[in-house]
Amino acid sequence: MSDASQSRKRGLSVLAAIVLLAGLGYGAYWFTTLRNVISTDDAYVGGDIVAITSREAAVVVAVRGDNTQSVSKGQVLVELDPLKANIDMQAAEANLARTVRAVRVKFARVEQLRAQLASAAVALSQAQSDVRRRTAVADLVSQEEIIHARDAVTAAQAAQRAVQSSLDQALAEVEGTQVADNPEVRTAIAHLRNAAIVRGHMQLIAPVSGVVAQRSVQVGQQIAAGTPLMAVVPMDGVWIDANFKEVQLGELRIGQPVDVHVDAYGDDVVYRGKVSGFGAGTGAAFALLPPQNASGNWIKIVQRVPVRIALDPAEVRGHPLRIGLSASVSIDVRDTTGAPLGAAATVREWRADPGNDGGPETDQLIARILEQNGA
């Protein structure tokens, strides 16, 4: 056999060995890894979109946030004209002061009626004494005087009952309370707090930290209550919505590890996430026009179900994401200890600060008005 033939034979043998080793390596890789991985490139970045709306009708006097800008929780985004709110606040303060004085008058009237009742009791006692004296000396006085004395007793009793009725009516308005906690005063305080709340609505603050999007408000615009002005997207809380085929769902479990590649960063950046939940239905079921498979010719189409994947906030801060970016997802399904399809995900809560009712400043204002008006 020639040297060329032997060389060619050795080359083919080496090539066959390489192909065999490669096949064995791929087979081992598939058996140990690939067959335990479910992947899809039908995945996108999702996130919350927190709407900024006005609670009051007013004119916009300042806008302090624009699209693409980062804002912090509590930062003022929009200022509304506070003129009417300030006037309503002043009217509420005056109403509280007037109400306190009116309630004090009611308390004073109770004391006045009690004095009148005591006076009426004295008058009745005197009239009854007159009757007894005249009756005792009936032979020495005329019958007419005795009748007049008895009429005076009747009149005194009627006067006493009238005063008692007026006193009962006055007590019904103030009994069991002090000036400061009288229902009328408490109602006036509530109106003042409501005016303070409305005035607090003249500044729209960011309920969460994030990036401003969908800004439509302009300075000088007259807006109605509930008008969407802009949105804030909290970028630290984004997730991945991966749409897997229904035939792939049987092996998925909550908590399984996930590798995510986002097209914007390429294959060099890998996000490590976990399966956090499964959608309540397929995408077609929640579409604006869901398919009607009971009509016409039917063709089976494999459906997809959204699977939510939670990301590590630290990784997201290192490589920020934007809602809607395309992604590729690979889930390692070897861990089957988690909850299967149908189990609910852990509830995640966003909570904004409650409305501003003036806080300690309003409390101090109320206390000062009560004190100045004698409550």
**pLDDT, tens digit (0-9, with 9 covering 90-100), for 162-212:** 878 887 787 777 777 788 888 888 999 999 999 999 998 999 999 889 999
What is residue 342's predicted lDDT score, i.e. its pLDDT? 59
pLDDT digits 0-9 by tens, 300-324:
888 888 999 999 988 998 899 999 9
pTM: 0.71
- Give DSSP secondary structure letters for 51-77: EEE-SS-EEEEEE---TT-EE-TT-EE
Assigned fold of 50-83+199-233? OB fold (Dihydrolipoamide Acetyltransferase, E2P) (2.40.50)
Question: For the chain, what are the domain ranges?
Answer: 50-83+199-233, 84-179+359-372
80's enclosing H/E stretch is: strand 76-80
pLDDT class for 356, splitting at 50, 70, 90?
A: low
pLDDT recorded at residue 160 = 81
Mean pLDDT over 81-108 rounds to 91
What one-letter code names the amino acid at 146?
A: I
Report the alpha-carbon distance of residue 299 to residue 293 in Å, rounded: 8
Angle of helix 143-174 versus helix 83-136 axis, rounded to 10: 160
What local confidence, expressed as pLDDT, does residue 254 receive?
Answer: 87
Which pLDDT band holds residue 25 (cuts at 50, 70, 90)? low
Query: Which of 289, 292, 302, 307 has the alpha carbon at shortest distance from 343?
Result: 307
Cβ proximity of 82 and 199 under 8 Å: yes
Confidence check: pLDDT of 246 > 90: no
The pLDDT score that the predictor gives to residue 22 is 66
Across all residues in the chain, what is the average pLDDT? 83
The whole-number average pLDDT for the span 116-120 is 81
